[in-house]
Amino acid sequence: TTGTGSTKHAAKQIAAEQMLEILPLPSEMDKQKHIRKHSSQHKKFIEQKGSVSYSLTEQINPITRLYQIGRARDIKIEFN
């Protein structure tokens, strides 16, 4: 669509209004949040990270480790 106006901004506004008449606004049902799934490779990495043979020099905070395992298994962990 093209719009004519005294300024470039006015022409764009008119063209946008004409376009809204042609194309309706998308409804809220069309916009869905994409759910990310952790890949199996990510789960294997977390399991490997917890094994004894991974690295003894890298010590992981136990609370951080619980969050990692919970994320890999899609479990929500809350501490009260």
- Look up the pTM and report it: 0.32
pLDDT at 77 over 70: yes
Phi and psi, residue 72, nearest 5°: -65, -30
Condensed to tens digits (0 to 9), the pLDDT of residues 26-72 reads: 666 655 666 666 566 566 666 555 555 555 546 677 777 788 778 77
- In the chain, domain spans: 1-27, 33-80
Q: Could you tell me the two tokens for 31?
A: 């916009």
Q: Could you tell me the two tokens for 54?
A: 């991974």
Q: Which of 33, 34, 29, 69 is nearest to 49 (CA)?
A: 69
pLDDT at position 3: 74
Alpha carbon distance 77, 68 (integer Å): 10
pLDDT at 17 over 80: yes
